[in-house]
A and B are shown apart, each in its own frame.
Chain A
Amino acid sequence: MTTVDTPAGTSTGRRVQVGLLLQRQGALIALVVLVVFGVLRYGERFATGFNLSSFTGDTAKYGLVALGMTFVIMTGGIDLSVGSVVALGGVVGVGVSEYGLLPGLLAGTAAGAAVGVVNGLLITRLRLQPFIVTLATLLAVRGLALTLAGTRAAVAAPGGFQSLGSWSLLGLPVAAWAMFLAFLVGAAVLHYTPWGRQVLAIGGNVDAARLMGLPVARTTFSVYVLSGALAGCAGVFLGSQNGSVDTAAGQGWELTAIAAVVVGGTLLTGGVGSVLSSLVGVLLLQLIFNLIVFENGRGAVTISSFWESVIRGAFLLVVVLLQVRLVRRRGEAGRPA
């Protein structure tokens, strides 16, 4: 899906187009290359249904968080609280786990959405900076999650609630299907609904959006609620798959989500972005982890898991530098006056 309109015709346009392709599809190309590399190097074991299903199932929760973050970033904002919201959603979901998965999902998502409401109100009503507001809720919500968890560990009741870890459909876990579906819906919403266009317009030029009579406050608010809800839902996924939620659940997820969105090619300044690219970004960053596990499994060389974060950081660096080149080039082609 393209959300960036393609300039064409002139040679500058074509150069930008190549750059855009690289920016938009660079992550996808890297993902394909890594998958091919994995298949060639680790053979069947890598390509098995088991690996594929555990990989996608595991990635689902990160995907949901990144999806919400994508919309927030497209408005030019940021949501640092999602990691803590994952913990909160997980604790709440696990708390009602004896009633089964669906009530758990509803409760966890609602708890996340409630945090989103707080973020959204502070940002739109009190007009505070998103970065610092969500930083504050990051602290506060983790405290809330830990308080709710209390002294006893947040362990899920056995039974239905934990079925997300085992259910699968056509060879893929239900969690993975849920993620793919969420991204498809997200992409369609961005392209085909006024709300989606408003999100991009606000990120592109908030003053213009206001003068055009777009419901800037309402849309901005809703984006944070969405992000909170998705993060809460991801927390329930985590609880359902692992059977418990520990105190460090979701810590640092906000930054991996931001990294995934940026790797996908969405500009942090807002106004430009693609939902499906964020999915590619998440898959790419998770695949690196998966490959390291396989490389160690092969035995010849042992790569310490510490390399994982180093490699992720390096990936982010490469993507960022590519984006810089692209933005500079585009700046030459049509610097807005």
Chain B
Amino acid sequence: MADPPLLSMQGITKQFLGVPALREVSFEVARGEVHALIGQNGAGKSTLIKVLTGVYARDAGRIEFDGREVAFPSPHAAQLAGLSTIYQEVNLVPFRSVAENVFLGREPKRLGLIDWGRMNREAAAILRRLDLDVDVTRPLHDYAIATQQMTALARALSTAAKLVIMDEPTSALAEQEVQTLFRVIRQLRDEGIAVVFVSHRLDELYAVCDRVTVMRDGRTVAQRAMADISRYELVSTMLGRELAEELAHRRSADAAPDGPPVLEATDLHRGRALDGVSVSVRPGEIVGLAGLLGSGRTETARAVFGADPLDSGTVAVAGTPVALRSPRDAVERGIGFAPEDRKTEGIIPQLSVRENMTLALLPHLRRHGIVDRRRQGEIVDRFVTAIGVKCSSPEQPIRELSGGNQQKVLLARWLCTDPKLLILDEPTRGIDVGAKRDIQVLVRRLADEGLAVLLISSELEEIVADADRVVTLRDGRSVAELTGDDITEDALMNAMATGAAADTAVDSASDTADPPAGPATAPDHDPTTAGRQP
């Protein structure tokens, strides 16, 4: 490239308590390129971004942005210089209007007072640039996550950003919303704005990025053009080891599930979220629950677990119809549920690994109301070893563990209750590749031992690799079922999009690199279904 890079970071070093988090990292982004930044959790991506945007001060190194040497004292200063960050969790103010969220802190004024008319007009204009036609005077929380994400992007654009950093922006988006985001990213690139894109999903990197920087152990280990690096190479560079079996199917072909279903849910209805979902799971079977965001996957799981009340429909556990009024009822019947959002719905942060792991088991560890500490200790020791939880001791607070290890503890929380059915909602989201594989292998092993598993995942790859049978949901209804070798990404996308299990070609799937777009019903414009997915 003839031009000097827009951003150049050289020799960046950062230590925490003497432990190096970044060692002599260099990172360059050219004007108008989409640059992928990848690495396992703990590789230093977040630290690098935080050093760049002024959240942390660097110990050593040099940062040049837009031709000047910089050291931003705060994210705000970085923003003013044209460097905006969009975080994984939407960091906006839900109760305030879309327009306010775009302009908070920089409201257009007349005579010192806020000019609401102009603010709304300008916000609408910026959003139209992103092909989004919404009522900007309505509160942000009325809209889908994708729209909220776009609002964050609009905010970045309105600050005249030269570089936009997106930290896992797609993790909460459905495929179709991801496509909208990608289109906008390409549009930005064409306008000369550079984008740094952080994601764990390889498909997305190949779909939208021009170049990639790989980090490992606080170092940059590769900087390449996206087209010049194979998936295999990318993964092995990231992990620093060979991982040939990574993408292999792990379904054990001969272990055909038999026996009566552990769970049989029929024609579930709940408000607008569930409109006729039926799903059954037999012992030893992993049933995937696929569908776009808002299709009712999590709602189905919650209903089956007794977390949300049903309007109508029946749930039978081991052949007996039951009325589950609370998760407690479900737990007593041998159902476990690992929710999607570990932080807010899974862990009790300040309690130890031991306490977290035995939380659901406590009623059974009770002797005259008193906790049997010895049995508790034995059980915890057994599972820490069996599942390979990495912690300094079972007494370590769970919040100190990495995401993957937290997830393992949460799985153990259910496994130690010896459940018949385990519901896993996005069990590998936000977890680094190594831990993800551990968990996938573990779930398969448990199923082979007779556990029934209901698996929810937004990653088609994961569903295809793990599930024996897949029930596809669309608009709160179960629309298709696929078994065995019929489970392919194409077939799944087709089912999600059209509601048919037949393998007719999906027309929008012609662009090979991109995961194809979803159905035409864009959730953006329907605030009632929007944002329903917790």
Interface contact B531-A205, CB-CB below 8 Å: no
Q: A192-B114, A197-B100 are in contact. Are A209 and B93 (CB under 8 A)?
A: yes
Residues A213 and B76 in contact, CB atoms below 8 Å apart: yes
Nearest chain A residue, comparing its CB with the CB of B103 = A197
Contact between chains at B105 and A7 (CB < 8 Å):
no
Q: Quick one: which of B114, B139, B534 contacts A4, CB cutoff 8 A?
A: B139
Contact partners of B534 in chain A: CB under 8 A? 335, 337
**With A194-B105, A197-B107, A332-B271 known to touch, is A13 a contact of B114 (CB < 8 Å)?**
no
Q: Are B92 and A208 in contact (CB under 8 A)?
A: yes
Report Cα–Cα, A280/B112, bound state, in Å: 29
CB nearest neighbor in A for B53? A211
A7 touches B76 (CB 8 A): no
Asked whether A197 lies within 8 Å of B104 as measured between CB atoms, the reply is yes
Instruction: Pick the contact of A213: B79, B527, B532 (CB < 8 A).
Output: B79
Partner among A5, A214, A272 whose Cβ is within 8 Å of the Cβ of B138: A5
B74 at the interface (CB under 8 A from A): yes
Greatest chain B CB density within 10 A among A192, A200, A272 is at A192
Q: Please count how many residues in chain A sit with their CB below 8 Å of the partner chain's CB atoms.
A: 34
B141, CB-defined interface residue at 8 Å = yes
- CB contact under 8 A between A208 and B91, given known A334-B527, A334-B530: yes
Report yes or no: B105 in contact with A4, Cβ–Cβ below 8 A: no
A193 to B533, CA, bound (A): 35
> By the criterion CB–CB under 8 Å, are B531 and A337 in contact?
yes
Q: Which residues from B are CB-within-8-Å of A13?
A: 142, 527-528
B93 touches A336 (CB 8 A): no
Given contacts A213-B74, A213-B75, contact A197 B531 (CB under 8 A): no
Interface assignment of A212: CB less than 8 Å from any CB of chain B: yes
CA distance A213 to B76 in the complex (A): 5
User: What residue in chain A is nearest B531 (Cβ atoms)?
Assistant: A334
Identify which of residues 144-162 in chain B touch chain A, using a CB-to-CB cut-off of 8 Å: 145, 155
Q: In the docked arrangement, what's the CA distance between A258 and B80, Å?
A: 39
Q: Point out the residue from A9, A12, A205, A212 that lies within 8 Å of B105, measured CB to CB.
A: A212
Asked if A198 is an interface residue, CB under 8 A from chain B, the answer is yes
Chain B CB within 8 A of A10 CB: yes
A193 touches B113 (CB 8 A): yes
Residue of B74, B75, B91, B112 ringed by the most chain A CB atoms within 10 A: B91
Contact between chains at B172 and A201 (CB < 8 Å): no
Q: Is the interface of B mostly helix, strand, loop or mixed?
A: loop
Q: Tell yes or no: A271 within 8 A of B by CB.
A: yes
Determine if A143 is an interface residue (Cβ-Cβ < 8 Å): no
- Across the interface, which residues of A come within 8 angstroms of B402, CB to CB? none
Closest chain B residue to A271, Cβ basis: B95
CA distance A6 to B532 in the complex (A): 19
A333 within 8 A of B: yes
B98 nearest in chain A by CB position = A5
Give the residues in chain A near B96, CB-CB below 8 Å: 5, 197, 200-201, 204, 271
Complex CA–CA separation, A207 to B94 (angstroms): 12
Asked if A205 and B93 make an inter-chain contact with CB atoms under 8 angstroms apart, the answer reads yes
Say yes or no: A204-B94 contact (C-beta < 8 A), given A194-B105, A209-B104: yes
Given contacts A10-B528, A211-B75, A337-B172, contact A205 B114 (CB under 8 A): no
B87 interface residue per 8 A CB criterion: yes
Q: Please measure, in the bound complex, the distance between the C-alpha atom of A334 and the C-alpha atom of B148, giving whole angstroms.
A: 12
CB pair B95 A12 closer than 8 Å: no
B498 contacts partner chain A, Cβ-Cβ < 8 Å: no
| Residues of B with C-beta under 8 A to A334 | 139, 141-143, 527, 530-532
Given A194-B105, A209-B104, A272 contacting B95 (CB threshold 8 A)? yes
Q: Are A337 and B533 in contact (CB under 8 A)?
A: yes
B residues less than 8 Å from A9 (CB atoms) = 527
Distance from A65 Cβ to chain B, minimum over Cβ atoms (Å): 25
- The listed residue with most A CB atoms (<10 A of its CB), out of B94, B96, B530, B533, is B96
- The minimal Cβ–Cβ distance linking A26 to chain B, given in whole angstroms, is 19
Instruction: Tell whether, in the assembled complex, residue A213 and residue B105 are in contact, meaning their CB atoms are under 8 Å apart.
Output: yes
Further pairs besides A209-B93, A209-B104: 19, Cβ < 8 Å? A7-B139, A8-B138, A10-B527, A192-B114, A197-B100, A198-B105, A200-B95, A204-B95, A205-B92, A208-B93, A211-B87, A212-B91, A212-B104, A212-B105, A212-B155, A213-B76, A213-B79, A214-B105, A337-B172
Query: Which 4 pairs of residues, A with B, have the shortest CB-CB distance?
Result: A213-B76, A204-B93, A192-B113, A208-B91
**16 A-B interface contacts by CB (under 8 A):** A9-B527, A13-B142, A201-B93, A205-B91, A205-B93, A211-B87, A212-B76, A212-B105, A213-B76, A214-B105, A333-B527, A334-B143, A337-B145, A337-B172, A337-B531, A337-B534
